[in-house]
Amino acid sequence: MHAELKKYSDKLPKSLLQEIEEKCPASKIKKVAARVYEEYCKTKIDAGEAVGLVSAESIGEPGTQMTLNTFHFAGVAEMNVTMGLPRIIEILDGRKSIATPMMEIFLKSPFNKGKDIHNIALRIKESILGEFVKEYVINIVDLKIELKLNLEKMGAIGVKHALLIKAIDKSLGKEVTSKEDGEGGLVVKLRGRDEKGLNDLYKIKEKLRSVYVCGIKGISQVLPVKRRDEFIVITAGSNMKKILDLDFVDETRTTSNDIYEIRKVLGIEATRQAIIDEVFKVIEAQALNVDIRHIMLVADTMCSSGEIKGITRYGVVSEKSSVLARASFETPIKHIINASLVGEIDFLNSVVENVMLNQPVPVGTGLPGLLTKVAK
């Protein structure tokens, strides 16, 4: 870096320094940097500016336009994703379970070149026994179920008969025994068949259908997609921990849209970034224009306690120290009664409570006190 620019290294943001360096002839750097610094100081937010209020307005106004076109089927073929206002509400409320959890799985080279991409995708997907069975034949005489299997599909994912038997054993082992029938299928028999009847057999048949066989639990749909020059897998359902453990998955880029899962696996800072990305994605998709700094502020607020706090009365609002401020948001009577029961004191340090009491509020010019003592 240029020597003159180094002087500003802790005064100007990195992006500006880079821009000066790239676009400026070396001889003029000193002058330009001084001028940029001057402009930069002018555009900084003043102390006491009500940034939260500005952010609320700036996100809220485009939000009113968004309500008109809410339930959008966005994104990739056949997979529907919550977009628009419902998605924004979902993120900012800090909901634990979201409507359409989704993952974007990046693959390591050479798996991302597109060869066998369908099989890789299918290996990720949670498979149940029903998918591999072509036909259920119920044998009333011997009280057993014969399963005709889809061998092609089993071969593609690499599922062997032994695995199916093990899977059945694991979830229904108390009720049935199963073995190969020698013709590529399976035979399932009831245990203790003397006291069991046809009804039990039918019940077991239904249960068999949903026996978990292999794949990652929670991933209900997979879709290989080409993005730029590589193939990625988009999934419906999310299970970040398990997916990152797979050896063909690129663990540095794979993400989920479930912010709680990101919090658990990657930590609070990654969550903040994910909130920003997700909200911005929605706003961008609707071709609205909200400055990313507003979203950053919201994300910072939500993540400042180390855990995700939604913008609700249970989340960030419950963190406020002032009773009156909490009461002014939602359920006032509850807050006032609880506060009076424990003898809470309100120091009137913030905005809302002072508005309620008709006093000057500590924002903007209301913030500083007098520096000089006025002589009497």
Partner 1 sequence: MAKKIDITKHVLVPKHTLVSEAEKKRITDNLKLSGSELPRILKTDPALAGLKAKDGDIIKITRISRTAGETIFYRRVISA
Among 27, 109, 252, 365, binds partner 1 (CB under 8 A): 252
* Residues of span 302-361 touching partner 1 by CB under 8 A: 303-307
CB atoms within 10 A of CB 112: 21
Angstrom distance (rounded) from CA 368 to CA 354: 15
Q: How far is the CB of 272 from partner 1 (least distance, A)?
A: 8
Q: Which residue, among 330, 371, 322, has the nearest Cα to 351 in the 3D structure?
A: 322
Name the residue with tokens 């180094």. 6
The piece of 112-120, 165-173, 243-251, 349-357 that touches partner 1 (CB under 8 A) is 243-251
Among 269, 343, 347, 370, binds partner 1 (CB under 8 A): 269
Q: Residue 372 is encoded by which pair of tokens?
A: 């000089």
- CB nearer to partner 1: give 46 or 183: 46
- CB nearer to partner 1: give 122 or 147: 122
* Residues of span 7-66 touching partner 1 by CB under 8 A: 13-18
Is residue 367 at the binding interface for partner 1, with CB under 8 A as the rule?
no
Amino acid, res. 208: L
Among 150, 221, 273, 312, binds partner 1 (CB under 8 A): 273
Map 207-267 to HEC letters.
HHHCCEEECCCCCCEEEEEEECCEEEEEEECCCHHHHHHCCCECCCCCEECCHHHHHHHHC
* Residues of span 148-177 touching partner 1 by CB under 8 A: none
Q: How far is the CB of 255 from partner 1 (least distance, A)?
A: 7
Q: How far is the CB of 35 from partner 1 (least distance, A)?
A: 19
Name the residue with tokens 């978990």. 212
Residues paired with 149 in a beta bridge: 133
Q: How far is the CB of 14 from partner 1 (least distance, A)?
A: 3
Q: How far is the CB of 240 from partner 1 (least distance, A)?
A: 10
Q: How far is the CB of 306 from partner 1 (least distance, A)?
A: 4
Q: How many residues are there in the chain?
A: 376
SS3 292: helix
Amino acid, res. 265: V
SS3 126: coil
The piece of 71-79, 123-131, 132-140, 291-299 that touches partner 1 (CB under 8 A) is 291-299
Angstrom distance (rounded) from CA 122 to CA 214: 10
| Contact set with partner 1 (CB under 8 A) | 13-18, 244-247, 251-253, 255, 262, 264-270, 273-274, 292-293, 296, 300, 303-307
